[in-house]
């Protein structure tokens, strides 16, 4: 049986309205950037490859710190792993904060959805800044597997196509002794996207700042960045048909730092 460990390798700050649609676009919230280790099987499996190194306090135009090869290696060392040792790297989607260090996984088979690949190389206009060809095209020289829809990538580990945030975002369903878990990527940034507060709540972000999150009246609240909102809602129900709601792991929630699942 598997165990999932999100390892923080950077922090990045975005407006609350990016995490939660209709949220404040002037107030920043700082979230962790994780690489996820799935252990307990015969193979070394990692989900997502983190963000580039922050320069002058900015990551790809957003305030941030950490990132790059050094941070990735330090994060994986906490799981006694090097990128070169990894057998399989699953990329949830090709946004810059999920793929930047993929080229360090020289010996891994790399799994990306085919429609994510095609969309990343010809993105919708509002997503041009979130994709970087220099991070993506080198993967063509590697052991790249472009997946068409849901597929098993190892015994008990499946990729699940969840379009909406991007055209080809995939979650990763992982069998554990407490049932299946779903690494959701940015389909859900935080628990607020699928356990939305009924009243305004104060929340401590990854930088230790207090942030106000607005209340919601619907069971799901989309992030502010998406390609198709109808598809996003459909993917929420697909996620729920895959695992129990409490077994969904959002992409950038500070509360996940330092924990393992189950
Ligand atoms: Zn994203």
From the CA of 134, how far away is ligand 1's center (Å)?
A: 17
SS3 (DSSP) at 202 = strand
The continuous run of DSSP H or E covering 207 comes out as none
- Which residues, in sequence order, are CB contacts of 199 under 8 Å at separation 6+? 215
> Residue 41: its pLDDT value, please?
95
pLDDT in tens, 143-153: 999 999 999 99
- The phi and psi torsions of 236 (rounded to 5 degrees) equal -60, -45
Considering the entire predicted model, what is its pTM?
0.96
pLDDT in tens, 41-96: 999 999 999 999 999 999 998 999 999 999 999 999 999 999 999 999 999 999 99
Short-list 42, 30, 36, CA closest to 1:
42
Q: Which domains does the chain have, with CATH numbers?
A: 3-256 (3.60.15.10)
From the CA of 43, how far away is ligand 1's center (Å)?
A: 27
Query: Exposure pattern of 136-147 as b/e (b: 16+ CB <10 Å)?
Result: beebeebebebb
From the CA of 116, how far away is ligand 1's center (Å)?
A: 11
From the CA of 186, how far away is ligand 1's center (Å)?
A: 5
From the CA of 95, how far away is ligand 1's center (Å)?
A: 5
Q: Quickly count: other Cβ atoms within 10 Å of residue 84's Cβ.
A: 12
From the CA of 225, how far away is ligand 1's center (Å)?
A: 8
Q: What is the mean pLDDT of each run of 10 residues along the chain (262 residues)?
A: 97 92 89 97 97 95 96 98 98 98 97 98 93 96 98 98 98 98 97 92 90 87 95 98 97 97 97
d(CA 106, CA 141): 10
């Amino acid at each position: 049986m598997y165990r999932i460990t999100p390892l923080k390798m950077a922090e990045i700050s975005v407006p609350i309205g990016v995490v939660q649609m209709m949220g404040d676009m002037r107030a920043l919230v700082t979230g962790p950037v994780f690489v996820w280790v799935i252990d307990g099987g015969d193979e070394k499996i990692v989900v997502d490859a983190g963000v580039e190194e922050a320069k002058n306090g900015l990551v790809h135009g957003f305030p941030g710190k950490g990132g790059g090869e050094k941070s990735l290696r330090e994060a994986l060392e906490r799981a006694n792993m090097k990128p070169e040792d990894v057998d399989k790297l699953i990329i949830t989607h090709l946004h810059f904060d999920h793929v930047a260090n993929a080229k360090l996984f020289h010996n891994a088979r790399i799994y990306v959805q085919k429609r994510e690949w095609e969309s990343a190389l010809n993105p919708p206009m509002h997503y041009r800044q979130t994709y970087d060809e220099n991070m993506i095209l080198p993967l063509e020289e590697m052991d790249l597997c472009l997946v068409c829809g849901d597929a098993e990538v190892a015994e008990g580990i499946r990729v699940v196509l969840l379009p909406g945030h991007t055209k080809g975002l995939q979650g990763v369903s992982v069998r554990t002794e407490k049932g299946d878990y779903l690494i959701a990527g940015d389909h859900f940034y935080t628990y607020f996207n699928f356990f939305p507060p009924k009243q305004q709540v104060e929340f401590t972000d990854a930088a230790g700042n207090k942030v106000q999150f607005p209340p919601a009246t619907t069971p799901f609240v989309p992030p502010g960045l998406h390609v198709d909102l109808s598809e996003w809602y459909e993917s929420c129900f697909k996620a729920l048909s895959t695992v129990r709601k409490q077994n969904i792991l959002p992409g950038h929630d500070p509360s996940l730092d330092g924990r393992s699942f189950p």
